[in-house]
Amino acid sequence: MTDIDFWALIGTVPVHNLSNDLGATANDADIEALGAVLAKLPDSEAIAFFRMFSEKLHALDTPAHYNACRVGGNEASSDVFLYARCHLLSLGPEQYDAVLNTPAQFPPDLWFEDVLSLANETYDRVWENDPDPDSHPSYESFSNALWSTT
């Protein structure tokens, strides 16, 4: 799976910011459609998708990104920081790269958990065929080695 393939898959779910609530929503049919596409991926592609998903979230798991992540004007919890990073992925490669390179550009009030659930469901289906399951970086908040230097 190429980077272009990854972004094309993530980009199939239009995400709409909620104007009067924190987070994002997506049409259930769009979520289900992405789930159906991911379910049909060959094992090697599903593993590659999950690896790229994990790597991209892990790259955003830094103290600078966390400090820039605000939800409702407040510091984010570990879960909210994870869901905010998931939402950022759903915004596409340009927004992702901008925030990756300049954490201060992290948009406020992001939250999108559905894409995390889909990625986990995809990997759960194929993990037994992953030749190196321990090599995936963790996407969990505060797992990046950069946290040990703070």
User: Does the residue 64 lie in any domain?
Assistant: yes
**Is 112 in contact with 83 (CB distance < 8 Å)?**
yes
Structure tokens, 65: 């990104």
pLDDT > 90: percent of the chain: 43
What is the residue range of 54's domain?
Answer: 3-13+26-149
What pLDDT score was predicted for residue 20? 37
User: Does the residue 112 lie in any domain?
Assistant: yes
User: Does the residue 82 lie in any domain?
Assistant: yes
What pLDDT score was predicted for residue 21? 47
Confidence band of 49 (pLDDT split at 50, 70, 90): very high
> How many domains does the chain divide into?
1
User: Does the residue 116 lie in any domain?
Assistant: yes
* Residue 10: strand pairing partners: none
User: Does the residue 21 lie in any domain?
Assistant: no
User: Does the residue 19 lie in any domain?
Assistant: no
DSSP for 40-101, written as a single string: HS-HHHHHHHHHHHHHHHHHT-SHHHHHH-EETTEEPPHHHHHHHHHHHHHT-HHHHHHHHH
User: Does the residue 20 lie in any domain?
Assistant: no
User: Does the residue 18 lie in any domain?
Assistant: no
User: Chain-wide mean pLDDT for the chain?
Assistant: 85
The C-alpha atoms of residue 66 and residue 126 are separated, in whole angstroms, by: 31
pTM for the model: 0.87
DSSP for 85-144, written as a single string: HHHHHHT-HHHHHHHHH-GGG--SS----HHHHHHHHHHHHHGGG-S-GGGSPP-STT-S
pLDDT at 17 over 60: no
Digit-coded pLDDT (tens) for 94-128: 999 999 999 999 988 777 888 888 888 989 889 88
Q: What is the mean pLDDT of residues 65-89?
A: 88
pLDDT at 140 over 50: yes
Q: What is the mean pLDDT of residues 60-85?
A: 89
